[in-house]
A = this chain, B = another copy of it.
Amino acid sequence: MSNLAVKETPAAGGASEAVRAVLDRVKAEGRSALTAPEGKLVCDAYGIPVPQEGVATSADAARQLAERMGYPVVLKIVSPDILHKTEAGGVLVGLKSAEEVAKGYDTILANAKSYKADAKIDGVQVQQMLTGGQEVIVGAVTDGSFGKLVAFGLGGVLVEVLKDITFRLAPVSRDEALSMLDGIQAAEMLKGVRGGEPVNREALADLLEKVSRLVSDFPEIAEMDLNPVFATAKGAIAADVRIVVDFAPKEPRYRPSQDEIVTAMNRIMRPNAVAVIGASSEDGKIGNSVMKNLINGGYKGEIYPIHPKAEEILGYKAYKSVKDVPGTIDVAVFAIPAKFVAQALTECGEKGIPGAVLIPSGFAETGNVEGQQEIQEIGRKYNIRLMGPNIYGFYYTPQNLCATFCTAYDVKGSAALSSQSGGIGMAIIGFSRSAKMGVSAIVGLGNKSDIDEDDLLTFFEQDDNTKVIAQHCEDLKDGRSFAEVARRVSKKKPVIVLKAGRTSAGAKAASSHTGALAGNDKIYEDVFKQVGVIRARSLRQLLEFARGVPILPTPKGENVVIITGAGGSGVLLSDAVVDNGMSLMAMPDDLDAAFRKFIPPFGAAGNPVDITGGEPPTTYQNTVRLGLQDERIHSLILGYWHTIITPPMVFAKLMVEVKEEMKAKGIEKPMVASLAGDIEVEEAAEYLYLNGIPAYAYSTELPVEVLGAKYKWARGAGLL
């Protein structure tokens, strides 16, 4: 009984020591799993409730233990040599009397002997048998990228079949633990269905917290399974504990400090002097394109072409090596074949250049893993941060810097985008130009031998020219670092990620593409949400979110109102609101009456506000003004219907006017628009977009998706 008396976690020191002692013994004995009693000791140390139990070494002792804890009980063989207890006939459940227990003890011993004659047998565990309540699973795993994760799901085969499980980075806070209970599809089961009692949510959350802390404190705990946990209205008790250990965890990845990253990345992204290694006067050469882009892009810093023979390239004095350049160099752009990179990189190190942009391909992506390791080692030796290899380079528009062989790009804006793949980078460039999105930066990450998504997040976090960060990735080499940085950065600026390789087919393609193994997609899904990252579901969504999210003001609440001239759009917009995790405000009577004053008697009440199709511009104006003025409404979705009485551009200009009028009074709310009509609506949509109202022609879903992304961000950042 005393085992259950441990309700509070003991002082950290005591708990740590107890667990350490168990793990030391397991390690000394060369085992990779804990026995049940060891598992119980570990749980006790962290205050994880387990059933009353004890180990008996005689039938009589088993009987006595059972009498003390009450029936029914479970008997289990305790032997370091028998891992699959059930298979060995080493488990008996539901024993209801002293006689059954005594007899059961003998049966189990006999079974164990016949299963494995030479098995060392420590005794038979007698355990209080739990029944009733909801069976749930609490677990912890070690992910190759994200490290320690805690998992939660319901028990039972059906849930396994449906893969209804949710993950969080460990350790979790109480709120995060509670969010896990709502994070499964079958969440309702925990609230008590068909008259069943709801489970004790605090007790379950407490359990999740403790498990997450335990595996974080002891990285050698590779896996932990509490299955089942019986969750009742009173509490949560883990009926079975399985702990797998790994005493040879992988080397943690080298990470500079955040300050070091900021310093280096600022020199790379906003350099005063750029060297182009492999600069060329010859049209068609990559080193020629890079030079032209730097020059024609309007970069105002120093440009140093590096070439073994040339005296001068495109009007700039050329040098044989970066070491010959008299001044300081902040970043070197490499436009030479892979085989020459190591030598040139060493020279960069000797020159003290803090960053190298490695355009060349021919490294890990073509199987040349050693070549990539070699340059990584040079980078570490000289403290050079490496971008790439196998990239298009990067753009940083506030400095008119096009450090790339692709087209020069000059549409300035506040979105910073990056891509792991060159093709996707080109799509970013094309879309940005076409949609007049404007960007602060576009960065190619390619093989990510060094600089990766979290380095970029760290830089863009403190870059005043960037308001939103959108990243395409196929893997996260260090998901843990990414998540930690993203958690901080997303509080300040929206972080949008398109994770490719979601499906097993996609993951297979990703692996053939960059050698990256895509992890379980559900882990990405849950961790992104946990740290406030907005997940894009498609390339277009990544681009549209990057374009629309920074334009929208942050909503001050969840009340969304649709104002539409087309009833049909209203229905589709309503569907889209739900699909994107928002909800339509229940319209208060007085507000409903106020809207009704502006619309025809047969216009529809409530939300959507259906102003009907034949209305003049003033009806849109009055209703939208009211929507912006009323404090209970937090954002507006407009549905426009092209008519002769209110032509597209009349509507568009009026909406921008109303928006500006309200802004002058200090009122700013997110507003998006869906335009249904003939092709003139395209011009109107563009005008609206350029004036702060994300708008789409022929689509009811895209504007709502953009608004939904803003909401996701605001919630994740704790602003709602």
The stretch that binds B, out of A59-67, A114-122, A152-160, A254-262, is A152-160
Please tell me if the beta carbons of B540 and A424 are within 8 angstroms of each other in the complex.
Answer: no
Q: How far, in angstroms, from A677 to B565 measured CA to CA in the complex?
A: 37
Q: Check B421 against A566 for contact (C-beta < 8 Å).
A: yes
A714–chain B nearest beta-carbon distance, Å: 20
B701:A539 contact, CB within 8 angstroms: yes
Stretch at the interface among A34-42, A184-192, A266-274, A374-382: A184-192
Number of A positions contacting B (CB below 8 A)? 101
A512 with B606: CB separation less than 8 A: yes
Contact B540 A610 (CB under 8 A): no
A504 interface contact, C-beta 8 A: yes
List the B side residues contacting A570 at CB < 8 Å.
Answer: 509, 513
Give chain B residues whose Cβ lies under 8 Å from the Cβ of A639: 423
Contact of A430 among B509, B572, B677 (CB under 8 A): B677
How far does the Cβ of A586 sit from chain B's closest Cβ, in whole Å?
11
- Contact between B156 and A158 (Cβ–Cβ < 8 Å)? yes
- Mask: chain A, 530-547; 1 = CB below 8 Å from B; 0 = not: 000000001110010000
Give the CA-CA distance A420 to B509 in the complex, in Å: 42
What 0/1 pattern do residues 644 to 673 of A give for CB contact below 8 A with B? 100000000000000000000000000000
**B504–A567 CB distance below 8 A:** no
A434, A512, A543, A610: most-surrounded residue (chain B CB, <10 A): A512
Q: State whether A505 touches B642 (Cβ < 8 A).
A: no
Known: A157-B189, A578-B503, A602-B366. A676 touches B424 (CB 8 A): yes
- Residue numbers in B under 8 Å from A568 (CB-CB): 419-424, 472, 474, 500, 513
Q: Which A residues have a C-beta under 8 Å from some C-beta of B?
A: 154, 156-162, 185-186, 188-189, 193-194, 196, 284, 361-362, 365-367, 406-407, 419-424, 426-427, 429-431, 433-434, 472, 474, 498, 500-506, 508-510, 512-514, 538-540, 543, 562, 564-579, 583-584, 601-602, 604-606, 608, 610, 613-614, 639, 641-642, 644, 676-682, 697-702
Please report the C-alpha to C-alpha distance between residue A162 and residue B159 in the assembled complex, in whole angstroms: 10
Q: Which residue of B lies closest to A564 (CB)?
A: B423
Do B512 and A575 touch (CB < 8 A)? no
Closest to A429 in B: B678
CA–CA, A193 to B157, complex, Å?
Answer: 8
Cβ of A567: which chain B residues have Cβ within 8 Å of it? Answer: 365, 421, 423, 509, 512-514
Given contact pairs A568-B474, A584-B505, A426 touches B677 in the complex (Cβ within 8 A): yes
Chain B's closest residue to A187 (CB) is B161
Question: Can you list 10 residue pairs at the A/B interface with Cβ under 8 Å?
Answer: A158-B159, A365-B567, A423-B568, A423-B641, A424-B572, A430-B680, A474-B568, A509-B608, A513-B570, A539-B700
A528 to chain B, nearest CB (A): 16
Could you say which of B501, B601, B697, B698 contacts A571, with CB atoms under 8 Å apart?
B501
B539 to A509, Cβ gap below 8 A?
no
CB distance from A454 to the nearest CB of B (A): 20
Q: Of B193, B512, B579, B699, which contacts A610 at CB under 8 A?
A: B512
A698 & B539 in contact (Cβ 8 Å cutoff) = yes
Contact A430/B569 with A503-B578, A610-B512 known, Cβ cut-off 8 Å: no
Chain B residues closer than 8 Å to A161, beta-carbon distance: 186, 188-189, 193
Beta-carbon contact of B677 and A505 below 8 Å: no
Q: Which residues of B contact A505 (CB under 8 A)?
A: 574-575, 577-578, 583-584
A420 to B361, CA, bound (A): 54
| Residues on the B chain within 8 Å of A367, using CB | 602
Contact B606 A642, beta carbon cutoff 8 Å: no
Nearest CB to that of A193 among chain B residues?
B157
- Report yes or no: B698 in contact with A157, Cβ–Cβ below 8 A: no
Closest B residue to A362 by beta carbon equals B602
B605 touching A424, Cβ below 8 Å: no
> A569 to chain B: which residues have CB within 8 Å?
421, 423-424, 427
Pairwise interchain contact A157-B194, C-beta atoms closer than 8 A:
yes
Which residues of chain B are near A577, meaning CB under 8 Å? Answer: 503, 505
